[in-house]
Structures are given as C-alpha cells and as structure tokens.
Amino acid sequence: MNIFEMAKIPLQKAIETINLDPGAAAIIAVPERTLEVSIPVKMDDGSTKVFTGYRSQHSSILGPAKGGVRYHQNVSLDEVKTLAFWMTCKCAVAGLPYGGGKGGIIVDPSTLSKRELEALTRAYIDKIAPIIGEKRDIPAPDMNTNAQIMGWMMDEYSKITGQFEPGFITGKAICVGGSLGRTAATGRGVVVAALEALKLKNIAPADATCAVQGFGNVGSWTAKLFYDAGVKIVALSDVNGAIYNKDGFNPYEVDAFVQKTGSVVNYPGSEAISNADLLAMEVTVLAPCAMELQITGENADAVKALIVAEGANGPTTPDADEILDKKGIMVIPDILANGGGVTVSYFEWVQNLYRYFWSEEEVIEKQTVMMRTAFKNVYEAAQKYNVDMRVAAYIVALSTLAEAMKIRGMY
C-alpha cells in the first residue's frame, strides 16, 4: 500500500459514517491537477544536472491551493499527492478559505552550494509559474526549505509577473512581508490542541509529562511551548538519536546546545535512549514531530502515552490507529494538530493582500482561538458519531467541502 492509498483509509471511514454523496466523494478522492517538471541546473563544476520537481493541487473547492515545497531525495509523486490531500483536509478543519497543494524536488540540498540551491529554486518557480499565484496556489516552506528559499521564490515570481508579489508565497522573512509568529506557529498549534485534550482529561499542565520525537522547527517549538505551559519535557530526539531525563529538559537550553553541536545527542545530564524507547515512554503526551510512518502496527502496542499529538504529517498508520484507539489513547490527528502552520500562513497572506501587519500578540491570539475552535469541532464530531479523532477530523473536513461543492453545483 502506498502512502496515498493509506491516507484514504480514514477518509473512507468518514465517508461511510456520514453517508457522503458518491459524487462529492469521487471529487475529493483525486487531485485536481498534478504537474511534473524537469529542472536543468548548471552546477558549479560546469556540468548540467536535471532535477525532477512536482506540484500537486488537490483542491480549489474552498479557495486557492495552499501548501509547502520540500527538498528531499525521497520526494515522490505519491508523496506530494498525499500531502496535498492532507492540506485540503487540514484547511477545511481549520476553517480556512484554501484548498490543498504540495510541491517538492527530488534533491539532497546538503549536496548543493548556495549558488546551486538558488539556481534550482528559481528554475523550479520558472517551471511551475503558470499554475501558481496568490489567487491560484500559494507555496510555503516545508522539509529542507526556509525563509531564504521562499525569498528567492518570491523574487523569481515577481520578475516573471513584473510586479512585487509578496502574497504569492508564505513563510517569508519579516522584511519582505513575512508574519510575526510564523516560525513557532506549527509547534504552537500542536501545543494548543494538546492542552485542550488535557483539559478534557482534567490534567493540569504542571502534572503532565511529554516526549517529543524530532527537534527540527516543529519539534523544537512544540517542546519549548509545552515547557512554557508548565509541561515537563522528559525526552527529545533528532535523526542522530534520543535523550531522556526524568527531571525534565529546558528545551531552550537544548536548542542552544543543538545550535553549537548539531544534535541533541550527548546533551549534558541526559541519558541516551533509542527512538523505540521514546515512542514507548510512559508520558502524558507523545508528540511525533519528525517523519511519517513512525507509529505502526508493529510498535503501537508499546505506546503508553495518554495523548498522541501529531506534529508530523502521517506519523501513525491506520493499523496503529486501531491499536491506539482500543488502548484508549487519544490521537490528535495531523490534520488538526499541526494546522497551526497553515493558519498563520493564512494570516501572512491576508496581511500581504492588505499591506497591513499585526503584532505577534495579535497573531498568537487569533491562532489560539482558531485552533481551539477546530479542536472543539473535531471533538464534538467524535462524540456525535462515536469515532476516533482522526475519523472525526475527516468528517468535519468532508462536511465543509461537501457543503461548498453543493452550493457551487459541483455534484
């Protein structure tokens, strides 16, 4: 089963639960458009190398497509189609006027010089320019892309259109139209959703513990903001290994260590553990914030957390979902928990359109309100239909999309 087919399993459960019209289900099941491009780049040694890139636009039912661009050697067509589908659902759950999009280039960016990386980035935008724009499809950062790369993309697209185009892309530096609060936004969404779950279980943050898998942008900010809320962070990991301290970590200090050494491994006062140990840790909240397919049918029974808050996309497989549900573990699904990033990307887009910018406090307040509302809607759907939170999130998304399609006369 490929990742795109795997993603359809909870979707199908939601379709059957609410008896969704077959016409609406058929429309949602496939992307509207997927583009594959060849990107020739002149390398520093004088040779020319051709890279493969993708942009998938799953839906424009609620508005322009929205979604990141990732640079990774394992990017595939199935992956970007799946991530675009998840973005459609994520935006619908969050109540945003967007459909889902996703892009990627098959490349290990660590092997490129800065000049080669910029050349690749600009050439990619040249190739996909006919199908993107602030009212068509709005890219953003994703794995191995950042504000600098977004800046190159914005500059290239502005050259193509002949005018300054900040609203074409989000995740930019503040000086060229980025939004305050964007860097921490995805992690903040994970934490807001998890804190709502703790309220339901009558657990005070000060009485809670957390293990965070992944210490990139999402994982590090998830850990920091949990720490700020009073939750004890007892385990952290990155691609090099995992660390544990029963008395808890200060993730701000761990981050400073990572900036110097490149890894959480060997952090002073920590005990080295395996990734499997971290996932099986007896904590209140487990936050998988690394890669997809981390909690599977093979290791789900070992999970002891009360709550799994998915900061990554697709970290839990459908067979693992069934096991966790039987164990009474609440899984806050990715299309709800990590929706904070696209929510603040929406704020950035709005600010670009108006050329009027909000304070960081305003951004945080607006994001928190939207995340709490989304959590409430999903939890109420779970209770109404007696389903787990993932299926409930798809029910919320499908209901929103189906209503819009019906009004537009699409089925």
Collapse the DSSP code of 288 into the 3-class scheme (helix H, G, I; strand E, B; otherwise coil) and give the result. strand
Together in a domain, 166 and 208? no
Task: Look at residue 182 in the predicted model and tell me its pLDDT.
Answer: 92
The verdict on residue 311 lying in a domain is: yes
Q: For 206-240, what is each residue's pLDDT tens digit?
A: 999 999 999 999 999 999 999 999 999 999 999 99
> Which residues, 6 or more positions from 27, have their beta carbon under 8 angstroms from its beta carbon?
61, 405, 410, 411
Q: How confident is the model at residue 292 (pLDDT cuts 50, 70, 90)?
A: confident
Average pLDDT score over the chain: 95
Q: In terms of domains, do 124 and 224 share one?
A: no
- 202 in the same domain as 145: no
**One domain, residues 204 and 273:** yes
Is the pLDDT at 109 greater than 70, yes or no?
yes
8 with 84: CB under 8 angstroms?
Answer: no
Residues of the domain holding 224: 185-337
User: Can you give the CATH number for the domain in which 149 is found?
Assistant: 3.40.50.10860
pLDDT band at 84 (very low <50, low <70, confident <90, very high): very high
**222 token code pair:** 């998830």
Do both 212 and 126 map to the same domain? no
Does residue 329 form part of some domain?
A: yes
Domain boundary among 114, 145, 176: 176
d(Cα 305, Cα 361) in Å, to the nearest integer?
A: 32
Q: Are residues 223 and 319 located together in one domain of the fold?
A: yes
Instruction: Examine residue 301 and state whether it is found in any structural domain, yes or no.
Output: yes
At which of 337, 359, 390 does a domain end? 337
The CATH number of whichever domain residue 323 belongs to comes to: 3.40.50.720
Could you tell me if residue 24 is inside a domain? no
pLDDT of residue 411: 85
In the predicted structure, residue 5 carries a pLDDT above the cut 80: no
130 and 161 Cβ atoms separated by less than 8 Å: no
**pLDDT in the model for residue 273:** 96
Asked whether residue 76 is domain-assigned, the answer is yes
pLDDT greater than 80 at residue 139: yes
Q: Whose CA is closest to 90, among 398, 320, 324? A: 398
Same domain (yes/no): 134, 192:
no
Identify whether 154 is part of a domain.
yes
Residue 376, pLDDT > 70, answer: yes
Q: Catalytic: 102?
A: yes
Of 337, 360, 385, the residue that ends a domain is 337
pLDDT for residue 1: 60
Asked if 104 and 161 sit in the same domain, the reply is yes
Closest to 397 measured CA to CA, from 66, 30, 20, 34: 20
Alpha-carbon span 44 to 23, nearest angstrom: 52
| Catalytic annotation, pick one of 13, 90, 102, 172 | 102
Question: What is the structure's pLDDT at 4?
Answer: 73
pLDDT(264) > 90: yes
Do 165 and 195 fall within a single domain?
A: no
Are both 165 and 265 inside the same structural domain?
no
Portion of the chain with pLDDT greater than 70, in percent: 100
Query: Which tokens hold the place of 258?
Result: 């990572």
CA 359 to CA 367: how far, in whole Å? 12
Separation in Å, CA 129 to CA 119, 136, 168: 15, 10, 10
Question: Which residues, including other chains, have CB under 8 Å from residue 37's CB and lie 6 or more apart?
Answer: 52, 53, 54, 55, 124, 127, 128
DSSP 133: B
Predicted TM-score (pTM) of this structure: 0.92
Identify whether residues 170 and 202 lie together within a single domain: no
| Tokens matching residue 112 | 């490129």
Q: Domain check: are 141 and 159 in the same one?
A: yes
* Coil, strand or helix at 42: strand
Domain count, the chain: 2
How does pLDDT run across 346-362, given as a tens digit for each residue? 999 999 999 999 999 99
Structural tokens at position 395: 């029910």
> Does 351 reside within a domain?
no
